[in-house]
Structure 1
Amino acid sequence: MAYAITINLSSRQLILYRNGALAKSYSVGIGKMLTPTPTGTYRIVSKAPNPGGPFGAMWMGLSRPSYGIHGTNNPASIGHVVSHGCIRMYNRDVLELAHLVPIGTSVTIINN
């Protein structure tokens, strides 16, 4: 199956598509004003379970260095503008997403 991810910064939603159809939507936390989440199209280039620190249960690195989709040790931050540019997800959600999508999955970040 072909997966693709779109992250809408305005609605703070990560949308997962499977074969072009909406499969699932997740609430996310995004970068704050001084460290915004970068828009553009990237790919998932790595996965690291239990990376430690504030990254929760999973880190999925993007093709833009130092940015990724990850869990959090602060679930109250989901849905808010709080990160240093990364996409934060609830740990259960990021584990589910990481199980579904392979390395190489397209991630498009938009702000509309």
Structure 2
Amino acid sequence: EQAKLKWLPYTSLLEFVAERYHSAESYIQKLNPGKNWEHLQPGETLKVPNVLPFEIEKFTEGKVPENPAFASRKVFVDTSEHLLEVFDQDQLVCVFPITPGSKTLPAPVGTWKILGVNVWPWFRYDEGMLNHGVRTENYYNLPPGPNNLVGVLWMGLNKPGIGIHGTNNPETIGRAASHGCVRLANWDAARVKDLISTGNTVLIF
């Protein structure tokens, strides 16, 4: 059914507010006891975490241009600690929590390159590729949107089918439940794209 759509939007106002403020839906509900999320009225106030809002509406679909100023940066993916780190020479630029594959399809250990960065990607849903790492002709093309399986961003690596990407389920971040890729919360994927560049080295260990 999703493949027939042109966009995969938020499914509820609660989901939208939770992602904008980097939270689980259950936490937003806990901060706002008694709120009827199906019938919020104009002018009602909500209590949310004091974080930089993830303004998804400012994203523009397309490829992110290569940034020569970041040419020397490297991305380190620590699969045991579930962390993604960006370094500029020996200086740490940022650290984000990730989901680095699973026991059956772990993130591929090795040294890779970022081939390209795409905002609002389409996703080729292929169970053969997801479950066994083998590309098949039985697949669906899922449209962009915050509820696309790879979220708001895809950074393809020079290993077929493997990338660093967002998610439609941020509560899974930090757990080993991906299909060989490196998964970030959408709000973190949005920040990473402005800190790296096509051509950067990615070390997965």
- With the shorter chain as reference, the TM-score category is over 0.9
- Which SS does the other structure have where 2:106 is aligned? coil
In structure 1, the gaps of 5 or more residues are none
- Which SS does the other structure have where 2:189 is aligned? helix
The 5-angstrom pairing of residues 56-71 of structure 1 reads: 56-71=151-166
Corresponding residue for residue 115 of structure 2: 45
Residue 34 of structure 1 deviates from its aligned partner by 1.1
TM-score (norm 2): 0.52
Residue 108 of structure 1 deviates from its aligned partner by 0.1
Cα distance between partner residues in 2 of 1:14 and 1:94: 11
Alignment partner for residue 36 of structure 1, among 95, 98, 106?
106
Establish whether residue 79 from structure 1 lines up as the match of residue 149 from structure 2: no
Establish whether residue 101 from structure 1 lines up as the match of residue 196 from structure 2: yes
Establish whether residue 91 from structure 1 lines up as the match of residue 181 from structure 2: no
Runs of 4+ aligned residues of structure 1 deviating over 2 Å after TM superposition are: none
How many residues align structurally?
110
Counterpart amino acid of 1:90?
A: A
- Which SS does the other structure have where 1:54 is aligned? coil
Cα distance between partner residues in 1 of 2:170 and 2:162: 19
Residue 19 of structure 1 deviates from its aligned partner by 2.5
Cα distance between partner residues in 1 of 2:183 and 2:198: 18
TM-score (norm 1): 0.93
Residue 9 of structure 1 deviates from its aligned partner by 0.3
In structure 2, the gaps of 5 or more residues are 1-69, 122-143
Counterpart amino acid of 1:68?
A: G
Structure with higher RCO (Cα < 8 A, 6+ apart): 1
Cα distance between partner residues in 2 of 1:19 and 1:94: 22
* 1:14-50, Cα deviation, whole Å (9 max, x unpaired): 0110122111111001111111111000010011111
Cα distance between partner residues in 2 of 1:80 and 1:22: 24
RMSD, aligned CA: 1.0
Cα distance between partner residues in 1 of 2:185 and 2:150: 10
> Based on CA coordinates, which of the two structures has the bigger radius of gyration?
2
Which is helix-richer, 1 or 2?
2
Counterpart amino acid of 2:154?
A: W
